[in-house]
């Protein structure tokens, strides 16, 4: 992978899960490990980019040369990204952002009683769609974790959110997706697609960044 190929670029990434508080001790979250996003951040830094990694709660060390911003909730992730997007040239949304948050998190620990209970949930902002829809939007890359009809669902997502590129992977299958060391991606853009992997997430990150760089140069020359 060419060492200085992303020199001059500012890559902003999101990674990991978000936590949506129910009360001071409980939250709603998911199984994202953050590994794909951290591997991409490390690879982008190795390629000479300035890298800002906005991460949910994960148990991973910060890659060398990467500026890391830790957040918990989707709302915090949204604010942290929007505050850093102005001079960003490539935005890669790897985070498994919770689609919903608890409408009114309790200030004190909720006590149980014999009755059933229901939690009211409200929609979270879509960070990726907001970045892609902004003025002077960077080159935007989304991820789509799918359990069925992977290509069709991913391409629909790419168009709906107005993205330059989408990387789709299967979840719930051995050797891919959440919390796995290896992954395989089906990457598509307006007018093309390529299959990457299965390979370790570090290797896959470099391969994906190569495709991103090619499409970015194509877009710039148009
Ligand atoms: O629509 P869906 O959640 O499947 O889209 C996944 C893509 O959108 C991922 O790249 C994810 O990081 C991003 N996303 C986001 N903010 C949300 C939901 C998803 O940035 N609230």
In the numeric block, the tokens 């470099």 are attached to: 206
The percentage of residues in the chain with a pLDDT greater than 90, rounded to a whole number, is 86
Query: How far is ligand 1, taken at its centre, from the CA of residue 150, in Å?
Result: 15
- 3-state class of 195 per DSSP? strand
For 173-187, the pLDDT digits (tens) are 766 666 667 889 999
What is the value of ipTM here, to two decimals?
0.98
From CA 135, how far away is CA 202, in angstroms rounded?
32
- Note whether 36 and 208 are within 8 A (CB): no
Query: How far is ligand 1, taken at its centre, from the CA of residue 80, in Å?
Result: 15
Query: How far is ligand 1, taken at its centre, from the CA of residue 97, in Å?
Result: 6
Ligand 1 close to Cβ of residue 124 (< 6 A)? yes
Taking the alpha carbons at both ends of the chain, their separation in whole angstroms is 25
Q: Which residues pair with 121 in a beta bridge?
A: 102
| Nearest to 124, CA basis, from 15, 52, 21, 31 | 21
Ligand 1 close to Cβ of residue 157 (< 6 A)? yes
Q: Structure tokens of 52? A: 């800002």
pLDDT at position 182 is: 82
Q: Which of the listed residues 29, 30, 95, 148 should we mutate to test ligand 1's pocket, taking the one with most ligand atoms within 8 A of CB?
A: 95
pLDDT at position 3 is: 72
**Ligand 1 atom with minimal separation from the 125 CA:** 21
**Ligand 1 atom with minimal separation from the 131 CA:** 20
Q: Which residues, 6 or more positions from 101, have their beta carbon under 8 angstroms from its beta carbon?
A: 20, 21, 28, 73, 74, 75, 121, 122, 124
**Ligand 1 atom with minimal separation from the 166 CA:** 10
Q: Is 143 annotated as a binding residue?
A: yes
Cα R_g (the chain), whole angstroms: 18
| Nearest to 42, CA basis, from 66, 61, 59, 58 | 66
For 30-45, the pLDDT digits (tens) are 999 999 999 999 999 9
- Residue-range domains of the chain with CATH: 10-220 (3.40.50.10300)
- Note whether 102 and 20 are within 8 A (CB): yes
What's phi and psi for 130, nearest 5 deg?
-65, -40
Per-chain mean pLDDT for the chain? 94
Residue 50 has pLDDT above 70, yes or no: yes
């Amino acid at each position: 992978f060419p060492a200085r190929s992303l020199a001059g670029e500012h890559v902003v990434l999101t990674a990991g899960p978000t936590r949506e508080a129910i009360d001071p001790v409980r939250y709603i979250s998911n199984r994202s490990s953050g590994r794909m996003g951290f591997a991409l951040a490390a690879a982008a830094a190795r390629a000479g980019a300035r890298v800002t990694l906005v991460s949910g709660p994960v148990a991973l060390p910060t890659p060398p040369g990467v500026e890391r911003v830790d957040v918990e909730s989707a709302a915090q992730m949204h604010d942290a990204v929007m505050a850093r997007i102005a001079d960003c040239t490539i935005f890669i949304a790897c985070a498994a952002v919770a689609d919903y948050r608890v409408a009114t998190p309790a200030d004190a620990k909720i006590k149980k009683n014999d009755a059933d209970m229901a939690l009211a949930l409200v929609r979270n902002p879509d960070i990726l769609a907001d970045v892609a829809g902004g003025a002077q939007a960077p080159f935007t890359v989304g991820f789509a974790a799918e359990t069925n009809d992977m290509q069709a669902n991913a391409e629909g997502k790419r168009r709906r959110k107005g993205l330059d590129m989408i990387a789709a992977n299967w979840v719930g299958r051995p050797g891919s997706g959440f919390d796995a060391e290896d992954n395989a991606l089906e990457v598509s853009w307006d007018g093309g697609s390529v299959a990457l992997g299965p390979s370790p997430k570090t290797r896959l990150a470099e391969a994906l960044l190569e495709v991103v760089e090619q499409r970015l140069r194509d877009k710039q020359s148009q």
